[in-house]
């Protein structure tokens, strides 16, 4: 990959208003990250949604900085082109700007991230400012805030009504002012997301916020049809991998029970007695060479 192809904070900012629109997806492991990266996703977000789709909780509150870093390292080993963002989990930044900076720094040191994302607007503007001042890019997140699920009374669309819309707009402007390089707009009426997108000079990335944002984000297990407990209106399934997994597992189970797997094609012969053994053919997911990017001349 040419250095110029690597997605970076400046290259994302340069797409504001001119496109192409930014396509972000979540990723949690090396195998899927490699495929999502090859598919052209611009940003891989190691989201605290992993608390729900990977760990099986009903919300994101149990996720820790260590959890996010563990999954971040796996994704960072596999990704080549995509920009890598780590989600700051519940209580890793809310307590104080100092605590937020400490944890953001730890996430870049130990998680392989190139930026962090955190939820909230005006009330975390100072936190964002401190992190940005330390040279750590911050993606904001306003509208529906999953870490405030109990305060919101569930996962509910925000910004309905003039006062609520004005308040989300003020949040977005405060984040821009604090130095955020982009903002996730979650669970907002499309006209409100459009108004915010037109009012700020940094890219907006929508989820359940209509078509007018500068980019979109979906949870990978949602758009691949693997997380099927709920299907929110804003999710479009681009594949039904859940059905494929169930069908493949049924066929595997059937063949194991019938004794038809493994057959000759999937079994090893004896070979020579002194042989060190033939290679199994197993390959690592992650290529041994490091990502082919680095400082550029411009
Ligand atoms: O945790 C997450 O996956 C997110 C996205 C849905 C924006 O925050």
pLDDT tens by residue, 199-226? 999 999 999 999 999 999 999 999 999 9
Residue from 32, 41, 49 whose mutation best tests the ligand 1 pocket (most atoms within 8 A of CB): 49
pLDDT of residue 1: 58
Q: What's the pLDDT tens digit per position in 161-196? A: 999 999 999 999 999 999 999 999 999 999 999 999
The conformation of residue 102, written as its DSSP 8-state character, comes to: H
Cβ 107 under 6 angstroms from ligand 1: no
Q: Which of 2-16, 19-33, 136-150, 236-250 shows the lowest per-residue confidence on average (mean pLDDT)? A: 2-16
- Asked if 186 is an active-site residue, the reply is yes
Q: Domain 3-236: what homologous superfamily?
A: Phosphoenolpyruvate-binding domains (3.20.20.60)
As a whole number of angstroms, the distance between CA 182 and CA 25 comes to: 15
Cβ 158 under 6 angstroms from ligand 1: no
3-state helix, strand, coil in the chain (%, to 5): 40, 10, 45
Cβ 87 under 6 angstroms from ligand 1: yes
Q: What's the pLDDT tens digit per position in 19-38? A: 999 999 999 999 999 999 99
pLDDT of residue 3: 60
* pLDDT reading at 273 higher than 80: no
pLDDT of residue 283: 75
pTM of the model: 0.92
Instruction: Round the average pLDDT of the chain to a whole number and report it.
Output: 93
Q: What's the pLDDT tens digit per position in 25-80? A: 999 999 999 999 999 999 999 999 999 999 999 999 999 999 999 999 999 999 99
The catalytically annotated residue of 102, 119, 176, 186 is 186
Helix (H, G, I), strand (E, B) or coil at 225: coil
Q: What's the pLDDT tens digit per position in 101-144? A: 999 999 999 999 999 999 999 999 999 999 999 999 999 999 99
pLDDT of residue 281: 79
As a whole number of angstroms, the distance between CA 151 and CA 279 comes to: 56
Assign 295 a pLDDT band (cuts: 50, 70, 90): very low
As a whole number of angstroms, the distance between CA 144 and CA 289 comes to: 40
Helix (H, G, I), strand (E, B) or coil at 138: strand
Cβ 128 under 6 angstroms from ligand 1: no
As a whole number of angstroms, the distance between CA 41 and CA 213 comes to: 16
pLDDT of residue 298: 44
Cβ 208 under 6 angstroms from ligand 1: no
Distance 73 CA to ligand 1 centre (A): 18
pLDDT of residue 284: 74
pLDDT of residue 227: 84
Per this entry, what is the length of the chain? Answer: 298
Residue from 23, 207, 216 whose mutation best tests the ligand 1 pocket (most atoms within 8 A of CB): 207
Please state the domain extents for the chain.
Answer: 3-236
Question: Is 165:121 a contact under the CB 8 Å cutoff?
Answer: no
């Amino acid at each position: 990959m040419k250095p110029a192809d690597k997605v970076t904070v400046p290259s994302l900012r340069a797409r504001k208003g001119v496109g192409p629109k930014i396509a972000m997806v979540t990723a949690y492991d090396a195998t899927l990250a490699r495929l999502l990266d090859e598919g052209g996703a611009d940003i891989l977000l190691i989201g605290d949604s992993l608390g729900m789709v990977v760990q099986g909780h009903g919300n994101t509150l149990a996720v820790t900085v260590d959890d996010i870093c563990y999954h971040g390292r796996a994704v960072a080993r596999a990704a080549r082109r995509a920009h890598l963002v780590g989600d700051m989990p519940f209580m890793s930044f809310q307590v104080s700007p100092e605590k937020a900076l400490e944890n953001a720094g730890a996430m870049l040191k130990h998680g392989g991230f190139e930026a962090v994302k955190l939820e909230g607007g005006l009330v975390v503007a100072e936190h964002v400012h401190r992190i940005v001042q330390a040279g750590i890019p911050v993606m904001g997140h306003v509208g529906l805030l999953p870490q405030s699920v109990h305060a919101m009374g569930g996962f509910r669309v925000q910004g309905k009504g003039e006062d609520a819309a004005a308040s989300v707009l003020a949040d977005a402007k405060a984040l821009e002012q604090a130095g955020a390089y982009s903002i996730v707009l979650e669970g907002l009426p499309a006209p409100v997301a459009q108004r915010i997108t037109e009012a700020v000079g940094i890219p907006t990335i929508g989820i359940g916020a209509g078509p007018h944002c500068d980019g979109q984000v979906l949870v990978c297990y949602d758009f691949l049809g693997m997380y099927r407990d709920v299907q929110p209106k804003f999710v479009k399934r681009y594949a039904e991998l859940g059905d494929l997994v169930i069908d493949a597992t049924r066929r595997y189970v059937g063949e194991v029970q019938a004794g038809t797997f493994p057959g000759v094609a999937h079994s090893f012969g004896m070979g020579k007695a002194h042989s060190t053994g033939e290679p199994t053919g197993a390959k690592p997911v992650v290529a041994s060479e490091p990502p082919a990017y680095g400082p550029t001349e411009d």
